[in-house]
Structure 1
Amino acid sequence: MSTPGLAYGPLGDTCVHLCVDMQRLFAPPSPWATPWITRVLPLIESLVERRARQTIFTRFLPAQKPGQGVGAWKRYYERWASMTMDNLDPEMIDLLPPLARHCPPAAVIDKHIYSPWLEGRLRAFLSERHVDTLVVTGGETDVCVLATVLGAIDLGYRVVLVTDALCSSSDTTHDALLTVYHQRFAQQVETVEMETILSSWT
């Protein structure tokens, strides 16, 4: 069965909404702020309100202290010493309040790197629930969303990217990544707007 905008049919019971890193850590006035996170927030919330039980939020947790981490991460947290847990208000890792109020029933899975897959908790959670389709929102398009999508492709999930519910610090690389998804991953990534998701997920 074809669905307008969705190349591989409607969304159903084996689908979840995977919302990437919509945290205070990435909202103004944080040094890591993504300027248009507040622009996509209402769209993401509109989906969460309808599908809280089918929503999983990932949260990025920085290193505990400056210089901690393996390999290049050690250098990264030397550069971003102010963004380590020892130097942050603990509430900075929280989801943005309009999303946090849906937890529970929405689930939260923490990670310490860009990808949510390597630490194993997300895949185990999805396997227990027989999930095969991910509707992806959040940020950043060209960092943690990219790592999320590529890992999901490798693991064989159907990936539906909600293009007007993604955000980045860079318009240029955001646009470039959407082009890549359209042109290079068309067999594995469907790109639609939120209106399509809200009307097609039955």
Structure 2
Amino acid sequence: MDGGAGGDTGCRGRAVHLCLDMQRLFSPGGPWPTPWMVNSLPNIAAVAERFAGRTVFTRFIPARDPGTEIGTWRDYYRRWSALTLERLDPSLLELVDELKPLARFARVVDKRRFSAFSAPRLAEVLNGHGAETLIVTGAETDMCVLASVMDAVDRGYRVVVVEDAVCSSSDEGHEAALTLYRTRFAQQIETLTTQALLERAEARAL
């Protein structure tokens, strides 16, 4: 089942699994809690295992302090000053324990904005894999996932959002974002369950 760094992923185009911000920072006990992250974790792990060697985990890294930011980001970190790097417990930036073993076979890319593409290194990693399809999981459906998916669409990637492997702290926002993906962006974004994704990948029908 290992996709491998150069292996057959079962996709029409070369696929990379992009997992957004599954960090202790956003865990149910963290300062920015996503309560039902625990429900999506087994599915995320299954996708990461299937696409071992072709998974990218992102980590959201807050500002050092509000004064290092610009515009509304400065206002944002004034509101959340307790979660700036100068005050935050650095262990909260780590991936959740359930995904750490899988990260050994993946790339980890740090970002300072909602979109994964705000980190220049992501483009380098994706280009290195010859990526054409992005399989997207992680948190939050209506924030960092949304921003990353929109950027991926603009860059011409085929996007598959794994609907039971994304999560949000807002049920309403989660459902609204999935509806947006399924309707307004149906030409460029597909939504699949984890089971459907893995079955289609196994059958080379993704």
Q: What TM-score results when the alignment is normalised by the length of structure 2? A: 0.90
Q: Is the 8 A contact 1:68 1:77 kept in 2?
A: no
CA deviation map 1:127-153 (0-9, x unaligned): 122110000000101100001100000
Q: How does 1:26-105 map to 2 (within 5 A)?
A: 26-105=26-105
Establish whether residue 132 from structure 1 lines up as the match of residue 116 from structure 2: no
Establish whether residue 181 from structure 1 lines up as the match of residue 201 from structure 2: no
CA deviation map 1:53-86 (0-9, x unaligned): 1110011000112443111110110110111111
Per the alignment, residue 112 of structure 1 pairs with: 112
CA deviation map 1:162-186 (0-9, x unaligned): 0011100111111111111111001
2: distance between equivalents of 1:96 and 1:118?
Answer: 22
**What is the CA-CA distance between 1:13 and the residue it aligns to?**
6.6
Does 90-99 or 27-36 show the bigger shift?
A: 27-36
CA deviation map 1:101-155 (0-9, x unaligned): 1222111011000011133211121112211000000010110000110000000
Q: Is the 8 A contact 1:59 1:111 kept in 2?
A: yes
The DSSP-based 3-state class of the residue aligned with 2:53 is helix
Per the alignment, residue 21 of structure 2 pairs with: 21
**What is the CA-CA distance between 1:51 and the residue it aligns to?**
2.0
Q: Percent identity?
A: 48
Amino acid at match of 1:102: L
The DSSP-based 3-state class of the residue aligned with 2:62 is coil
Per the alignment, residue 155 of structure 1 pairs with: 155
Runs of 4+, deviation exceeding 4 Å: none
2: distance between equivalents of 1:97 and 1:191?
Answer: 27
Q: Is the 8 A contact 1:149 1:159 kept in 2?
A: yes
1: distance between equivalents of 2:51 and 2:130?
Answer: 17
The DSSP-based 3-state class of the residue aligned with 1:164 is strand
Does 100-109 or 178-187 show the bigger shift?
A: 100-109
Per the alignment, residue 193 of structure 2 pairs with: 193
The DSSP-based 3-state class of the residue aligned with 2:86 is helix
Q: What TM-score results when the alignment is normalised by the length of structure 1? A: 0.91
Q: Is the 8 A contact 2:20 2:57 kept in 1?
A: yes
Q: Is the 8 A contact 2:43 2:165 kept in 1?
A: yes
1: distance between equivalents of 2:118 and 2:166?
Answer: 22
Q: Is the 8 A contact 1:18 1:136 kept in 2?
A: yes
Q: Is the 8 A contact 1:60 1:113 kept in 2?
A: yes
The DSSP-based 3-state class of the residue aligned with 1:87 is coil
2: distance between equivalents of 1:39 and 1:30?
Answer: 16
